Structure 1
Amino acid sequence: MTTLEAFAPAKLGPATLRNRIIKSATFEGMTPKGVVTDELIDFHRKFAAGGVGMTTVAYCAVAPEGRTSAGQLQWTEETAPGLRRLTDAIHAEGAAVSAQIGHAGAVANPKSNGHKAITSSRHFHLTTLSFAEAASEADIDRIVEAHAHAAKAATEAGFDAIELHFGHGYLISSFLSPKMNHRNDSYGGSLENRARFARRTARAVRDAVGTKIAVIAKVSMDDGVPGGFWLEEAITVVRWLEEDGTLDGVVLTAGSSLENPLYTFRGDAPLREFGALMPQPQKLGIKLVGKHFLRTYPYTDAYLLDHARQIRDAVDLPLVLLGGITGKESIDLAMREGFEFVQMGRALLSDPNLIKTIEEEGHGQTLCIHCNKCITTIYGGTRCVLRP
């Protein structure tokens, strides 16, 4: 196996990145009216100026009911000019820029959106104290087409890549999960049926954009809950996506925002800070039983590597490793293990200039302590709470 050079230019489908480090999608909370703001542009510009090969704008909903909050970006005519300003600003710093697109499914907030939430099968969401209804086949057709429309709009707005969100209990992820998906139609039951929505979506997006833009997908390897989507099924789904020829790469993630959110992040569970965000009676619920919902998992660098290795062994498709990529050592480890790219989130929130420091000094490590309090800032402007 050839070890890749992390800090040399690299191809991701038709896009050329100046290095193999990508700022991962972390919802910014900087679009209160659902349009691009100067704050959002500056947020991504600092990572581009700090040396990343690409930064990811998160999260851009493909339909009004697919937003996790009413202020989230959605692909409309009103958002297009701002998105062009954003991509121009990132390109001016020498970096590429990706748009994460998807539908939040049962993670969406129907009360703020003014639209009912939909998911694979009827589901009660404790955070919003509301039900998400089962998506109809007409809903599925509409949302597949909405992904294609968003991909075209991203191309026209100057994005270099699209990241399809197939993880974390969001809509398409809920179809993959045998725990959430209880359907008896062609989208339920067997893994082939449960993966149909994901494969249709990837095909529609690829057909819409051709080779103008890179298309990658974020896929959960493990929901982190008994009876959920699990590694063996994830290996098969990634193989199918590779065989379909619709993707230029896959981002490997884990966890469910609905049922086990901190499985994605590892480290501390900031219960007090989460509780402060909630209205009653959710606030009281977090205080009484939050430790059972926000379960704590020990943090280690590259904590998704063991699962990701098994997918690496099964496919030739370019893969992006995330989860505990914190500095030069873990970046080099990912390259030695055969991963073409890495994504970094909390490490870059802690130090946006980390990549430039590593390139200039030959070493570097984030100061992030994995307290996870940054997660609780996402609706007021995502940031590291320890930075001045």
Structure 2
Amino acid sequence: MDDPIPDVLAPAKLGPVTLRNRVIKAATYEGLSKNSLVTDELIEFHVRHAAGGVGMTTVAYCAVAPDGRTHRKQILWTDEALPGLRKLTDAVHGEGAAVAAQIGHAGPVADPKGNRAPALAPNRRFYAAATGFTKAATQDDIERIVQGHAHAGRMAIEAGFDAVEIHLGHNYLASSFLSPKINRRKDEYGGSLENRARLSREIARAVRDAVGDRIAITAKLNMDDGVPGGFWLDEAIQVAKWLEADGSLDALELTAGSSLLNPMYLFKGDAPRRDFAAAMPQPVRLGIKLVGRWFLREYPYEDLYLLKDARQVRAAVKMPLILLGGVTDKQGMDTAMAEGFQFVAMARALLRESDLINRIKDEPDTESLCIHCNKCMTAIYGGTRCVLVES
């Protein structure tokens, strides 16, 4: 606490990488890949944010296995994808920003119909969001997915990425193993917190062993699933301690909510149920109309809404932390720095104004135009954007 408060807009080290500032464009699924490959539209999306002034932009979501996609269009780590990924990283670097790839396996959040494979989970169970029963992950599945993360790390280096972000949140596969509500296994991956955290730690270790210190490694970790009986802050603090002791990560980004059970818990603000229904095919559209008010709950928005819980993680570990959630202006960024966070991550505010960071540099009192209506979430499969801005 005696260290000087860093300037959020000055260069900073993230593992082996130097970013031009401490602002990261958080991973938001762009909906702009095609046939699991990069498109010009996806490149333009990240170039726009790089040109807008962020220190690093994050490409989401890059699945480590075909059955780990939430949509069949999502990027896979294949030889066919490399030329497009190299074109993307070169373009972002040309604007002076770094670029990260979010890697992971969607687990029970995956799309079994689009993937033509069952959604994996700790146990076999019916989930409406998965439109059917999940498949209990076998030991072979676990080993395949751990090695898939390592393979993604190696390919990220080849593609020119500066960092990878391991997805350990939102009840994607690793997060579903962490959750006592979802994980009812009786083997070494279930029961105690140490067992439930085993997969997350194995993934992080495999990625570190694969990439060494050639690129930065971060992870997105839930602090709270947002459902009774789910993963909670006290367990998240212990997992953060273990990840720190393992030495696998250069930084940890703290998040919350369950894409499987309570998706709006992370996205404080409005819950645009009618817009969600209109964007979805049947029978999902009908399901949202019937039960949307229970599944798509509404939580009041306030700036820095994850800070209260994140402070407790900050007090427990020394590793660099990235504060996400309601970061919209210079005042909030400075608060994060003063509270001991090394980086901030922004999503919706940058979807509304991709040049917001440059504007804040020119005028520190600049306020975000984002109104937290969350209608951007309804656009993800047609190209994520702020729907209030004319294209």
Quick check: TM above 0.5? Answer: yes
Q: Deviations over 1:73-120 (max 9, x none)?
A: 010011000000000000000000000000000100010111111111
Q: How does 1:95-106 map to 2 (within 5 A)?
A: 95-106=97-108
- Aligned equivalent of 2:250: 248
- Aligned equivalent of 2:260: 258
Name the stretch that deviates more: 267-276 or 360-369: 360-369
Structure 2 residue matching 1:57: 3-state secondary structure: strand
Q: Hey, what's the Cα distance between the residues in 1 that align with 2:65 and 2:36? A: 12
- Contact conserved, 1:60 with 1:74, CA < 8 A, in 2? yes
Name the stretch that deviates more: 278-287 or 267-276: 278-287
- Contact conserved, 2:119 with 2:130, CA < 8 A, in 1? no
Code of the aligned partner of 2:98: A
| Runs of 4+ with >6 A deviation | none
- Aligned equivalent of 1:303: 305
Name the stretch that deviates more: 315-324 or 326-335: 326-335
Q: Deviations over 1:290-338 (max 9, x none)?
A: 1111110000000000000000000000000000001111111111111
TM-score of the superposition, structure 1-length normalised? Answer: 0.99
Q: How does 1:94-243 map to 2 (within 5 A)?
A: 94-243=96-245
Q: Which of 256, 268, 280 lines up with 2:282 in the alignment?
A: 280
Q: Hey, what's the Cα distance between the residues in 2 that align with 1:160 and 1:168? A: 24
- Contact conserved, 1:118 with 1:132, CA < 8 A, in 2? yes
Structure 2 residue matching 1:79: 3-state secondary structure: helix
- Contact conserved, 2:49 with 2:354, CA < 8 A, in 1? yes
Code of the aligned partner of 2:38: V
Structure 2 residue matching 1:99: 3-state secondary structure: strand
- Aligned equivalent of 1:82: 84
- Contact conserved, 1:357 with 1:363, CA < 8 A, in 2? no
Q: Hey, what's the Cα distance between the residues in 2 that align with 1:128 and 1:161? A: 30
- Aligned equivalent of 2:366: 364
TM-score of the superposition, structure 2-length normalised? Answer: 0.98
- Aligned equivalent of 2:6: 4
Q: Which of 26, 48, 59 lines up with 1:46 in the alignment?
A: 48
1:128 CA displacement: 4.0
Q: Hey, what's the Cα distance between the residues in 1 that align with 2:69 and 2:81? A: 15
1:19 CA displacement: 0.2
Q: Hey, what's the Cα distance between the residues in 2 that align with 1:221 and 1:141? A: 26
Q: Hey, what's the Cα distance between the residues in 2 that align with 1:24 and 1:124? A: 31
Q: Hey, what's the Cα distance between the residues in 1 that align with 2:69 and 2:13? A: 31
Code of the aligned partner of 1:79: A
Q: Hey, what's the Cα distance between the residues in 2 that align with 1:77 and 1:364? A: 43
1:277 CA displacement: 2.4
Code of the aligned partner of 1:181: N
Code of the aligned partner of 2:384: T
Q: How does 1:295-374 map to 2 (within 5 A)?
A: 295-374=297-376
1:257 CA displacement: 0.2
Q: Hey, what's the Cα distance between the residues in 1 that align with 2:235 and 2:129? A: 28
- Contact conserved, 2:108 with 2:130, CA < 8 A, in 1? no
- Contact conserved, 1:218 with 1:250, CA < 8 A, in 2? yes
Code of the aligned partner of 2:278: A
- Contact conserved, 1:75 with 1:150, CA < 8 A, in 2? yes
Q: Hey, what's the Cα distance between the residues in 1 that align with 2:300 and 2:46? A: 29
Q: Deviations over 1:157-202 (max 9, x none)?
A: 1100000000001000000000000000000000000000000110
Q: Which of 62, 65, 74 lines up with 1:63 in the alignment?
A: 65
- Please, which runs of 5 or more residues in structure 1 have no aligned partner? none
Q: Hey, what's the Cα distance between the residues in 2 that align with 1:30 and 1:263? A: 25
- Contact conserved, 1:60 with 1:75, CA < 8 A, in 2? yes
Code of the aligned partner of 2:163: A
- Aligned equivalent of 2:93: 91
